[in-house]
Structure 1
Amino acid sequence: MKKIYKENAYREDVHATTSQVLRAYGRSVRPWWAAGLFVLVMNGAAGIIDIFIPVLYKRFFDILTRGARAADVAPDLMKIIVFVLALNGIAWFAYRCAGFVNAYFQTSVMADLKEKSFDYMLGHSYTFFANRFTGSLVQRINRFSRAFERLADRITFNIFPLGIRVVGVGVVLWQIEPMITLIIIGWVVLFLTFNYIFARWKLKYDVERAEADSRSTAVLSDAITNHNTIQLFGGMDIESHYYREIADEQARITRFIWNLDGIIDAIQAFLMILAEFFLFYFAIQYWQTGIITIGTFVLIQAYLIGLGGRLWDFSRVIRDIYESFADGKEMVDILILPQEIRDSLDARPLLVKTGAVKFQNVMFYFNLTRNVLENFDLSIKGGEKVALVGPSGAGKSTVVRLLLRLYEVGSGKILIDDQDIKHVTLATLRDNIALVPQDPILFHRTLLENIRYGRREATDEEVIRAGRLAHCSEFIEGLPHGYDTYVGERGIKLSGGERQRIAIARAVLKNAPVLVLDEATSSLDSHSEALIQDALDKLMEGRTAIVIAHRLSTIRKMDRIVVINRGRVVEDGKHDELSVRAGSLYHKLWTLQAGGFLRDTQIDT
């Protein structure tokens, strides 16, 4: 069966490199570099102590095997034991200090990574989010920060100490017997080279695993979000089949990677056995000739066990590092993707006096393939109330999204009080426009917080006043916790009409000079509509209002009706004029109207 759960085919093809992932991490590490350096220094100091302690063991066993009387050597042995205990105590203290500071360092950097990712992702365009699964985006941010944690742990507690241990062991053993040193160094180089080559080759499968995990999360999130639709339309079997396909694919790649890990473990075990054989073979030869002592045997064994443990872990360290890069790369792909819509270099604050809106020869192509608006011209005076009507797909909602710069015009200009919106800041543009969408989506926060989103600095009294004007108080005051009631994810605890009244209350509170109503009363019954129609009328007073509407009660109150079809303004006038103009599109829509609504269907013209 064809897999339907994949991101939009028009997504930008941008892929991050390893250096770009490192730079992204580096920018967040910079403010806390001193803490990170302290962790490395403490681990380095403890690592040097770990190298020196086996040297003391060598001396301990050399003294024991001299054949001297116990009473003569006991004081020297006791000094060595005390010295070893003291060094172990210092190493323990260094490791503990590193651990505590590392907790501060990593959590600070991880929080910064999440904040920067969150801020940059929210700056992407409407199209960006429309083309991607929400669950996948959430997963990317979370994995990005967790990947840094794994990467930092591996560098700080594995790779750096391993480097110190290899160098230290080489220096110590070279002074005793160069051949043994060369065997150990050769074994280490062979071990590390094998792991590096294998991990590099395996990286593409780690990336595939990360992508499969993102797809699985995205499909799961999509299904849970639409659980009601699945239940109502009997889609449980088909959705289960879709998810099983994704889960099976994820299991396949995960199983393959685990089998590869098993192969590398087997090869590593063979290399360990080989190294131990050659080391002890040469050690016995040298011992027989008197070149090395029993204490040197102990030293070699201690170093071999220590290096073996570090190197055995190194394969997992390399795997974790590459998996971290694979996980981090998914988010960095987004961080290096230029934001489609952002402030221009010469952007200035929008200054609104009258709120006049003008579209001049605007062209817009959806995904660069389908023409939505073509040579679109529309002028709205400051304070004028204009209804946009037309058949489905005519471009009404696109006009609103272009005005808010959710989309970018292909060519032409959109002006507010003779200021090109391309050259004003996005923040001030959107601060001066209040939108009441057709299907409001609320935060899983309290009703008070949801309404206050219209103007964050508003007092509780101002929020409640806006709620009363939008007739929200009628249902809010009947709730056990009133305005402190949580509305559920996306506002699921409220009806469609209640959510729309909350959106209207937001617009009332925002008090912007330009108002956009996208079917603001579409989810209201006649009683609810009558309650808030007066509030909407008051809200539109003294403001430029652009209303996408089908309700005749709303359309008739507008100063002008602009009829849009196939991306152009085809008619412009008042209801009384257009409704009697024989052969006009508005006349056809009016003729087909029923129940107080214009029909939103495509009509041949």
Structure 2
Amino acid sequence: MQGKIEYPPVGVKDVAKAMWEGLRPNGWLTLWTLFLYLASSLASVYTPVLYKNFFDTLSSATDRALGAHILITLVVWILILHALAWGTRTIANFGIQRIEPETMARLRNISFEHLVRHSFGFFTNTFTGSLIQRVNRFARAFERMADTVAFNLIPLSVTTVGAIFITWTITPLLSLIILIWTGVFFGLNYIFAIWRVKYNIQIAAADSKTTGALADILTNQNSVALFTAFPYEKEYFSEVTNEQSRVTIRTWNVNSAFDAVQSAITFIAEFIIFYNGILLWERGAMTLGTFVLVQVYIIQLASQLWDFGRIIRTVYEVYADSKEMVEILALPHEIQDVPLARELSISKGDIAYDEVTFSFQESRKVLDGITLAIPGGQKVALVGPSGAGKTTFVRLLLRFYDLTSGRILIDGQDIAEATQESLRRNIALVPQEPILFHRSLLNNIRYGRLDATDEEVKKAASLAHCDEFIESLPLGYETFVGERGVKLSGGERQRIAIARAILKNAPILILDEATSSLDSHSEALIQDALDTLMKGKTAIVVAHRLSTIRKMDRIIVLEGGKVREDGTHEKLLRNENSLYRSLWNLQAGGFIVDTDA
């Protein structure tokens, strides 16, 4: 995967399906909770009918004793309905307070599980900060959607249908006016919401861009300081945030304009209903109780219809906030196990590259038709100019990328037909720039083998000469190393990575510039540990410092994605036209002291 990632199209159904995956385990609790909210709304919508009877009795009763008895009975029923509405709503609140956190946690876990299985190429083309933002917005979007359904959509639906139905049985004219009012209101909001969705998506995209830019700048703070680039980065970040501000202001202005239109429609509808109600009352076609009933419904509907605009707005904001994460969930993993993939079984550790070609772009091959065999237990060094394909060579062995063509075999088994887990379980990598977790040193080293005991971890640390600096720390092995291990020097991080590899004890070992950050003293300290680590293993060492690979069994020289030379240190030096000899002489002039000369 290279360049911009092309995500599959995602619609509202896709977002709903993704949220349902998180909600599914709480399915029955969700149905019960929604039923309770529905019952609460039904109790509330029927209460005005009792108020109607109350005021009709109050205005028409001739027998005060009988009237008082009826009024008291109505008051009791009103209290019962209020208690029912309150009780069911309270119980439902407890339900949703469990549903939302549990579902949000599952959505985060689903997102995490899918994200971490994406390829190396995916993460090199995506801001980490942007990914974090997408996961969090996706989870929070469910919370907003659940709140909207429970506290806005259900009450609005019940109140609208109930008010229209009940008033129709009493005064069809006012019921028709209410029906027209709500119909116009719903229609305009729906049209506006569809038109506005592009603005919601723009806000979400601008938010992700701002978060990604901030994370990128903060991650590279040392470079900003080193190159005195603060004014440049300040201007760049200001441009990003100003663009987000412009998008937000434009969207909010559109919202305010439409809110004003909704207010005008509501005022006009209320006036028409009041006016016709007064005319009906004047002609004796409406009782005082009916007038009160209609006005209570008008007040409820005015409040809840106003919420309808926010409901539609929330739905599309939820869609926009979720869309970016659901796009990733819909994006197939670039590197996948084939159906019925087998566990990789290693006995010797033989490695074979068979006509291996790899390119990020068709116009440029990083590796071009490489064929070579590395017998099990052999120590091989990869050297060559920058861009020759050395790091890509080992990344393909780890299957961080899939080949353009050809095969890579380990003990005769095509790694493309083995499970990724079993492949990487059998390979230990010490990278050029080790990245550590913000966890204790003990747990960072234990990452090499998660079931290792504390004693095994400390033994590996000792072999990698980590104990020399760890024991000088106040908290020792319990010291937290900071984000990405920033509290440690480059050499200390590399020694931690070497300790991980020692602890893992895999049959195949890759050292990708593993000593590049070590000074001469530190390198001498761990050279014996590396020699011990490589015993009995197939080892591939990528190195620019040629002094570190002189004792290798074999040196492979890459240039332009092809194997230019292959032989021992001595053999390659004897060839006057050897690229390796040229590289050696170049370094010997200023960096290498040939103690064997």
Q: Per the shorter chain, which TM-score range?
A: over 0.9
Q: Report the AA paired with residue 242 of structure 1.
A: Y
In 1, the alpha carbon distance for the partners of 2:363 and 2:305 equals: 55
In 1, the alpha carbon distance for the partners of 2:7 and 2:591 equals: 44
Identify the residue that residue 6 of structure 2 maps to in structure 1.
12
Identify the residue that residue 465 of structure 2 maps to in structure 1.
471
- Tell me if structure 2 keeps the 8 A contact 1:21–1:332: yes
In 1, the alpha carbon distance for the partners of 2:89 and 2:592 equals: 74
Identify the residue that residue 567 of structure 1 maps to in structure 2.
561
Identify the residue that residue 315 of structure 1 maps to in structure 2.
309
- Tell me if structure 2 keeps the 8 A contact 1:550–1:597: no
Identify the residue that residue 272 of structure 2 maps to in structure 1.
278
Per-residue CA distance 1:332-352 (angstroms, 9 max, x = gap): 111111110011112110000
In 2, the alpha carbon distance for the partners of 1:598 and 1:255 equals: 62
Q: 1:57 aligns with which of 44, 47, 51?
A: 51
In 2, the alpha carbon distance for the partners of 1:337 and 1:421 equals: 23
CA positional deviation for 1:595: 7.1
Change in Cα spacing, 1:250 to 1:8, as seen in structure 2 (3 Å) is: farther
Q: 1:43 aligns with which of 17, 37, 56?
A: 37
Per-residue CA distance 1:126-175 (angstroms, 9 max, x = gap): 11110111110110000001011111211222112211221211221111
Which secondary structure does the structure 2 equivalent of 1:494 belong to? Answer: coil
Identify the residue that residue 420 of structure 1 maps to in structure 2.
414
In 1, the alpha carbon distance for the partners of 2:399 and 2:3 equals: 23
Greater CA deviation, 93-102 or 159-168? Answer: 159-168
Work out whether 1:258 is the aligned partner of 2:252. Answer: yes
Q: Report the AA paired with residue 99 of structure 1.
A: N
Q: Report the AA paired with residue 11 of structure 1.
A: I
Matches within 5 A, 1:366-445: 366-445=360-439
Identify the residue that residue 212 of structure 2 maps to in structure 1.
218
Work out whether 1:489 is the aligned partner of 2:492. Answer: no
Work out whether 1:78 is the aligned partner of 2:76. Answer: no
In 1, the alpha carbon distance for the partners of 2:65 and 2:190 equals: 52
Identify the residue that residue 190 of structure 2 maps to in structure 1.
196
- Tell me if structure 2 keeps the 8 A contact 1:454–1:509: yes
Which secondary structure does the structure 1 equivalent of 2:60 belong to? Answer: coil
In 2, the alpha carbon distance for the partners of 1:240 and 1:16 equals: 35
Identify the residue that residue 162 of structure 2 maps to in structure 1.
168
Identify the residue that residue 573 of structure 2 maps to in structure 1.
579
Greater CA deviation, 362-371 or 32-41? Answer: 362-371
Percent identity of paired positions between Structure 1 and Structure 2: 53
Work out whether 1:118 is the aligned partner of 2:112. Answer: yes
- Tell me if structure 1 keeps the 8 A contact 2:546–2:584: no
Which secondary structure does the structure 2 equivalent of 1:438 belong to? Answer: coil
Greater CA deviation, 177-186 or 548-557? Answer: 548-557
Q: 1:503 aligns with which of 472, 475, 497?
A: 497
Root mean square deviation of aligned Cα: 1.5
List runs of 5+ in structure 1 lacking aligned partners: 1-6, 600-605
* TM-score scaled by length of structure 1: 0.96
- Tell me if structure 2 keeps the 8 A contact 1:552–1:597: no
Change in Cα spacing, 1:369 to 1:307, as seen in structure 2 (3 Å) is: farther
Which secondary structure does the structure 2 equivalent of 1:393 belong to? Answer: coil
Q: Report the AA paired with residue 293 of structure 1.
A: T
In 1, the alpha carbon distance for the partners of 2:58 and 2:131 equals: 64
Identify the residue that residue 283 of structure 2 maps to in structure 1.
289
Q: 1:541 aligns with which of 513, 535, 539?
A: 535
In 2, the alpha carbon distance for the partners of 1:355 and 1:319 equals: 60
- Tell me if structure 1 keeps the 8 A contact 2:359–2:404: yes
- Tell me if structure 2 keeps the 8 A contact 1:352–1:417: yes
In 1, the alpha carbon distance for the partners of 2:256 and 2:226 equals: 46
CA positional deviation for 1:594: 3.4
CA positional deviation for 1:107: 1.0
Greater CA deviation, 570-579 or 312-321? Answer: 312-321
Q: 2:122 aligns with which of 128, 133, 153?
A: 128
- Tell me if structure 1 keeps the 8 A contact 2:7–2:327: no
Q: Report the AA paired with residue 85 of structure 2.
A: A
Q: Report the AA paired with residue 156 of structure 2.
A: L
Q: Report the AA paired with residue 494 of structure 1.
A: L
In 1, the alpha carbon distance for the partners of 2:222 and 2:517 equals: 19
CA positional deviation for 1:15: 2.8
Per-residue CA distance 1:357-381 (angstroms, 9 max, x = gap): 1110011011444210110112100
Identify the residue that residue 338 of structure 1 maps to in structure 2.
332
Q: Report the AA paired with residue 194 of structure 2.
A: R
Change in Cα spacing, 1:422 to 1:598, as seen in structure 2 (3 Å) is: farther
In 2, the alpha carbon distance for the partners of 1:224 and 1:506 equals: 28
CA positional deviation for 1:553: 3.8
Identify the residue that residue 90 of structure 2 maps to in structure 1.
96
In 1, the alpha carbon distance for the partners of 2:239 and 2:544 equals: 43
Change in Cα spacing, 1:292 to 1:345, as seen in structure 2 (3 Å) is: same
List runs of 5+ in structure 2 lacking aligned partners: none
Work out whether 1:592 is the aligned partner of 2:586. Answer: yes
- Tell me if structure 2 keeps the 8 A contact 1:553–1:596: no
Change in Cα spacing, 1:335 to 1:213, as seen in structure 2 (3 Å) is: same
* TM-score scaled by length of structure 2: 0.97
Aligned residues: 593
Change in Cα spacing, 1:126 to 1:447, as seen in structure 2 (3 Å) is: same
- Tell me if structure 2 keeps the 8 A contact 1:476–1:482: yes
Identify the residue that residue 462 of structure 1 maps to in structure 2.
456
Which secondary structure does the structure 2 equivalent of 1:593 belong to? Answer: helix
In 2, the alpha carbon distance for the partners of 1:70 and 1:355 equals: 102
In 1, the alpha carbon distance for the partners of 2:403 and 2:61 equals: 93
In 1, the alpha carbon distance for the partners of 2:353 and 2:10 equals: 38
Work out whether 1:524 is the aligned partner of 2:518. Answer: yes
CA positional deviation for 1:254: 0.4
Which secondary structure does the structure 2 equivalent of 1:563 belong to? Answer: strand
In 1, the alpha carbon distance for the partners of 2:299 and 2:361 equals: 61
Change in Cα spacing, 1:598 to 1:204, as seen in structure 2 (3 Å) is: farther
Q: Report the AA paired with residue 514 of structure 1.
A: I
Q: Report the AA paired with residue 483 of structure 1.
A: Y
Per-residue CA distance 1:265-288 (angstroms, 9 max, x = gap): 111111111111111222122222
In 1, the alpha carbon distance for the partners of 2:63 and 2:237 equals: 76
- Tell me if structure 2 keeps the 8 A contact 1:592–1:598: no
Per-residue CA distance 1:271-330 (angstroms, 9 max, x = gap): 111111111222122222222101001000111111111111111121111001001001
Q: 1:239 aligns with which of 233, 237, 240?
A: 233
Q: Report the AA paired with residue 440 of structure 1.
A: P
Q: Report the AA paired with residue 88 of structure 1.
A: H
Work out whether 1:181 is the aligned partner of 2:141. Answer: no
